[in-house]
């Protein structure tokens, strides 16, 4: 049994009172009530989950919260998947919550993957003009990325996560044991967000992923805990320095501008998971960097070899979407300025940087060349 590790997310002085702990261990779902009470006192709780996760963990979590003295409202349970991340579902969630007459002592408890964390966090940010929330991420992708940092939101027809708010959780419980129930494809998709931190500014961590990826994806708890710890530590450092993405935090979007466009073109469904889109997006960012003479071709080849070895995709299919559609989605990215696209590019593995002012015509040419390449994925 692995020992629980506590990692503090220390926000700057002006954010006093909003710093919080991330607990990373095995079996933390059975300790959630006590952990919440120790930090926030006994509270009114609203669990938000999806139908798949609820079958596994909703009743045990609810019983644990009640046993610790919390007052649990009737939970919100929505259909699983990115397709639920919309205004209609969000409105139903809010009305369900308000129909139970919550007060400002309410804590929204996000139990699930990235979709649930984003939507529950957004609900907490606007319900009664803002209440506390706790993240209990049950996927690798959520544990290493979306549950940390306070980005919340829903999707629009114009793109992913274009409606939302920055709203930090009060506690994150990353239960490694919950990852045992993930299908292999979903675990691999989450691993792409782990690898991303190595590509951004931690080349030694990328090498660690190369050395340990196969055993980690086979379910080794100690390796999974280390991956979550290192990923959360990397993200916490960036968030503490740039909470609302005025500068350096944009680096966390490596692979996401290309990836979000592919994900939107695929319909935000099971055809392409978010983590798979990010894996492809990172390859495209490196390839674009190589073509611009910024990055050694050897680093792109190394990343693609790693993806092939771990089963991650790295090349979009020719049918991934028509180029005007992909450009439209990229044009709606929140990082863009003055009608030009901002990408996160790299001078090599572990050397990512923000590249503003890229003309759409250059990206159009790149897409045309990329989509004509034969797909060679893991």
**Contact by Cβ (8 Å): 228, 143:** yes
Q: Copy the structure tokens of residue 30.
A: 């059975």
**Contact by Cβ (8 Å): 114, 256:** no
Clarify whether 260 is annotated catalytic. yes
Clarify whether 129 is annotated catalytic. yes
Clarify whether 335 is annotated catalytic. no
175 forms beta bridges with 25
Which residue in 58, 28, 56 sits closest to 45, CA to CA?
58
5 forms beta bridges with 24
Per annotation, catalytic residue among 129, 337, 361, 372: 129
Q: DSSP letters of 187-205? A: HHHHHHHHHHHHHHH-HHH
Q: Which CA distances in Å does 211 have to 164, 243, 334? A: 37, 32, 35
Clarify whether 245 is annotated catalytic. yes
Per annotation, catalytic residue among 245, 263, 276, 304: 245
Per annotation, catalytic residue among 70, 170, 233, 256: 256
Clarify whether 274 is annotated catalytic. yes
Per annotation, catalytic residue among 160, 243, 253, 276: 253
Per annotation, catalytic residue among 167, 196, 202, 235: 235
Q: DSSP letters of 282-337? A: HHHHHHHHHHTT-S-HHHHHHHHHHHHHHT---S--TTS--HHHHHHHHHT-TT-B
Per annotation, catalytic residue among 43, 151, 167, 233: 151
Clarify whether 233 is annotated catalytic. no
Clarify whether 70 is annotated catalytic. no
Per annotation, catalytic residue among 260, 276, 287, 304: 260
CA 352 – CA 349 distance, rounded (Å):
7
CA 301 – CA 287 distance, rounded (Å):
9
Clarify whether 364 is annotated catalytic. no
Clarify whether 256 is annotated catalytic. yes
Neighbour count for residue 316 (Cβ, 10 Å): 27
CB burial of 252-264 (b: ≥16 within 10 Å; e: otherwise) equals: bbbbbbbbbbbbb
Per annotation, catalytic residue among 62, 96, 193, 263: 193
CA 51 – CA 33 distance, rounded (Å):
22
CA 45 – CA 162 distance, rounded (Å):
27
Q: Copy the structure tokens of residue 358.
A: 């890229």
Clarify whether 193 is annotated catalytic. yes
Q: Which CA distances in Å does 376 have to 271, 310, 317? A: 17, 13, 9
Per annotation, catalytic residue among 202, 274, 276, 304: 274
**Contact by Cβ (8 Å): 131, 104:** yes
Q: Could you list the active site residues?
A: 129, 151, 193, 235, 245, 249, 253, 256, 260, 274
């Amino acid at each position: 049994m692995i020992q629980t590790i506590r990692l503090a997310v220390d926000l700057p002085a002006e954010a006093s009172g909003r710093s919080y702990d991330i607990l990373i261990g095995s079996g933390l779902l059975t300790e959630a009530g006590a952990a919440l009470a120790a930090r926030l006192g006994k509270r009114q709780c609203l669990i938000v989950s999806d139908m798949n996760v609820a079958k596994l963990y909703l009743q045990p979590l609810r019983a644990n919260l009640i046993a610790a003295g919390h007052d649990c409202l009737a939970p919100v349970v929505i259909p699983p998947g990115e397709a639920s991340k919309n205004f209609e579902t969000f409105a139903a969630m809010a009305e369900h919550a308000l129909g139970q007459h919550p007060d400002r002592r309410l804590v929204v408890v996000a139990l699930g993957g990235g979709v649930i964390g984003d939507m529950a966090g957004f609900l907490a940010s606007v319900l009664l003009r803002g209440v506390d929330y706790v993240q209990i991420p049950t996927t690798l992708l959520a544990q290493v990325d979306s549950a940390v940092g306070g980005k919340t939101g829903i999707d629009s027809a114009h793109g992913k996560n274009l409606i939302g708010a920055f709203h930090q959780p009060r506690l994150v419980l990353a239960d490694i044991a919950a990852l045992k129930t993930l299908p292999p494809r979903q675990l691999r998709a989450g691993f792409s967000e782990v690898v991303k931190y190595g590509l951004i500014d931690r080349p030694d961590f990328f090498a660690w992923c190369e050395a340990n990826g196969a055993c980690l994806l086979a379910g080794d708890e100690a390796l999974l805990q280390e991956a979550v710890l290192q990923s959360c530590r990397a993200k916490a450092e960036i968030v503490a320095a740039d909470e609302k993405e005025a500068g350096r935090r944009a680096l966390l979007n490596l692979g996401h501008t290309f990836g979000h466009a592919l994900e939107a073109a695929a319909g935000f469904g099971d055809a392409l998971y978010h983590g798979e889109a990010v894996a492809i997006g990172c390859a495209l960012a490196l390839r674009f960097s190589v073509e611009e003479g910024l990055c050694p071709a050897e680093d792109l080849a190394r990343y693609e070899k790693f993806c092939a070895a771990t089963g991650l995709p790295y090349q979009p299919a020719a049918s991934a979407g028509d180029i005007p559609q992909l450009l439209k989605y990229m044009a709606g990215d929140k990082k863009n300025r003055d009608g030009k696209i901002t990408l996160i590019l790299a001078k090599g593995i572990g050397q990512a940087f923000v590249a503003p002012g890229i003309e759409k015509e250059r990206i159009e040419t790149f897409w045309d060349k990329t989509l004509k390449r034969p797909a060679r994925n893991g």
